[in-house]
Amino acid sequence: MYKIGLIEDDFMTATLIIDRLRRGTDEIKPSVELVPFDNMTLEELVDYIYANRFDGLVVDHKLKSSNPDIDFEGTDIALSMENLIHFYPLFILTSHPNDAESERYTDVNIVYEKGNYIADTTGLIVEHINKKILTQIEHFKNRLADAESELETLRNKANKTDEEKDRFIELDHLIETSLCGRHVMPKNLKNQSEDIQELLGLARKIYKMSEEE
């Protein structure tokens, strides 16, 4: 079961959104938790989200208006999470979609109108948005799993071609940035590291041969 975090400043609205998110789709019924953010800095909030391993996040855009002590909006959270975990499944549910779309170059494909979602009486809008959210989570997880599987296959291959070495580094970089981008080694250093490991391996072989002579 997927776990979705919700960041919403109005409790009653949050209750309605949680009810609709939990409906999921015919195939998937996610769990949904309200994420506390009062008295947190943006960095503390991002750390909390990461530590609690939410598979995806639904965020209100306008957060400052209800609490003057908060100095960030939903789009700030979206950008911070994208910097931490590349392609992280995050969606903005807001009463101000135009503001959210224009602010900080937010991807218009992740912004949805909150009023329509809550007031939906047919269930069609809820189902449509839920499917988009859950599909994005599935794609993120499948993409990561496929990369890990391919990386393991290449890791176990003794003699890699230059193309396979490049692919190995590309996959390793993709996995690192998809798990946590804070401590990612630049790809050019990974290339150097690969060369160093080869040189060390060659040096060990030469040293072993000299001992045997």
Alpha helices by DSSP H, listed for the chain, are: 11-22, 42-51, 74-84, 97-102, 114-119, 124-155, 162-179, 187-212
pLDDT computed for residue 186 by the predictor: 56
> Where is the domain boundary, 90, 108, 138?
138
pLDDT computed for residue 12 by the predictor: 94
pLDDT computed for residue 204 by the predictor: 44
- Whether 65 and 111 share a structural domain: yes
**Which residues of the chain register pLDDT less than 70?**
96-108, 181-213
- Whether 128 and 183 share a structural domain: no
Give the tens place of pLDDT for each residue, 61-96. 888 777 778 889 888 999 999 888 888 999 998 886
pLDDT computed for residue 213 by the predictor: 44
- Whether 10 and 36 share a structural domain: yes
Domains of the chain: total: 2
DSSP string, 111-125: EEEHHHHHH-SSSHH
pLDDT computed for residue 184 by the predictor: 59
- Whether 192 and 161 share a structural domain: yes
pLDDT computed for residue 137 by the predictor: 96
pLDDT computed for residue 197 by the predictor: 53
pLDDT computed for residue 206 by the predictor: 38
Distance CA 77, CA 64 (A): 12
pLDDT computed for residue 31 by the predictor: 97
Instruction: Provide the 3-class DSSP secondary structure of residue 3.
Output: strand
- Whether 126 and 160 share a structural domain: no
pLDDT computed for residue 38 by the predictor: 86
- Edge to edge, the sheet with strand 31-34 lists 31-34, 3-7, 56-59, 90-94, 111-113
CATH of the domain at 112: 3.40.50.2300
Residue indicated by tokens 């070495």: 165
Give the tens place of pLDDT for each residue, 173-193. 888 888 875 655 555 555 555
> Where is the domain boundary, 116, 138, 160?
138
Residue indicated by tokens 């981008």: 181
- Whether 154 and 189 share a structural domain: yes
pTM: 0.79
